[in-house]
Structure 1
Amino acid sequence: MMTAESEHAAANFEPLRPKLMRVAYRMLGSVADAEDMVQEAFIRWMRTDRTEVREPEAFLRRTVMRLCLDQLKSARHQRETYIGPWLPDPVVEDDEAEDVTLPLMLALERLSPLQRAAFLLHDVFGLGFEEVAAAIQRDPAACRQLAARARAQVREARPRFQVEKQRGLALAEAFYAASRSGDMTALGAMLTADVSAHADGGGKRPAATEPALGFDAVMQQYERVAAWLRVNGSTLVRVGFVNGLPGFVTLEADGELQTTALEIEDGKIAAIYVVRNPDKVRHLH
């Protein structure tokens, strides 16, 4: 049974949970793992001597970040043996993400865990290097170097072309209609010459094990997809922003959800990201 003091501590934690989830998810790319890290931070918060904690939010952010750094060690090994392209768990919202889009999350995957932590805490969440240093247990000068190296590597993943919200959603709806009906002329008119398509099935649902690169390869892939869908069908669940990109959620013939996110450059689709792994879409049900 919780004491009044414990109930007060739990009540103080809950408003911080969404912020901590943002940190954990952007570090790990997995909703379930992020939830586990935040829940472990909650357990540690309840066990700690809170009279010694001057800034609960900073204390909890440090706790979550250290848990994520430990988690990344095992996650890296899992991704080395992952079947096909790895994409982060899809987060579907009505508006664009204000900080980290899917291409940037993929770029973060190429960083070391410490570089990723320094970049996210400083460049994305706006913390000073003193607090970054406290969170990842390095001195401020080292954190500056980590963030600078990370910044140089992910610079190209920052959105270079901003798409107006309604235009992006309209393009997502048009892509859904063309890809499901097999209107390849309409589909082709939406794609850039160097478009790519990435599908994450995780070995648990059918998906291409290599990205399709270039206009011809993507068109051929979607010709096959359209032929299959003419027989099996696909139902649009909602249109929105998937990891900050225009996209949609569908219910496929096998009863599983699927997300599609579209990276847009100069009004055309430059990359298509499809998540089919049932473990990664379970939280959307």
Structure 2
Amino acid sequence: METVRERMWLWGHEAGSHDTGWDISRSSRITPVEAAFYMDVPNVIMVRYHDKPEMPFDQYAIPFRRLKQVFWSVVGGAGRSSDEERKHVLELATRNPNIIGVFMDDFFKRAQDEGDTGVLSVDALQSLSDQLTIDGRRLGLGVTLYTHQLGMDLTAHLDLCDWVSLWTWEAPDLKDLEENMTKCEQIAPDSRKLLGLYMYDYGLHVPMPLEAMQMQCETALRWLHAGRIEGMIFLASCICDMELETVEWTREWIAKVGDEMLG
């Protein structure tokens, strides 16, 4: 049997990624792997942010070998991606067997934007999916889905995704978490679900209320034990050394519940 901790993930960004733009008013020096060890979380979803880290990723990825499981982004923050980057990440996975999949952040465009619904067309996503068997092992394809996107027609893209992570962009909307997870299950019935847990309210540019942090963590734990989700993701590594109240509370909570056996 697995422990709760083994199903925990940390969302990884380059150190300092959130120092500006979010009104946090603090700076960070912690790397994704350092943050994972600080929080005592064994798995990381590494996502490029503002084109950082720079390619090639091989040397940057060396410390990640100490982690249990890793996703590496092929679509980074703000939906940035390129053929070159996607090819390189697949090559990176051949040299790092604990990379179990690739991830697409900020993948779905706003309903009012013109063009395809996703950063990649359905055909391009199918082509990517066809390349995910490497050295006899199948990489998973993960995607970010925000609750405010649940009313969009995303079926064709979601059908190609193995993992769907659900995120609530503004903390007040967490009151609808149960309803929104049900909607997620309806539009992506066959995918493995991850619940995204913001440790800062990026939507409103304010600290995450402690009671909201506690509620979403306890909900994730309940759903994990019930088999409703496959895991939970704490966002983000680059705020783990800012001594934010919610981060420190979460660290203590992980220590408290991490060794529980699933089921």
Hey, which of these two has a bigger chunk of helix by percent? Answer: 1
Check whether TM > 0.5: no
Of structures 1 and 2, the one with the larger relative CO (CA 8 A, separation 6+) is 2
| TM-score normalised by structure 1 residue count | 0.27
| TM-score normalised by structure 2 residue count | 0.28
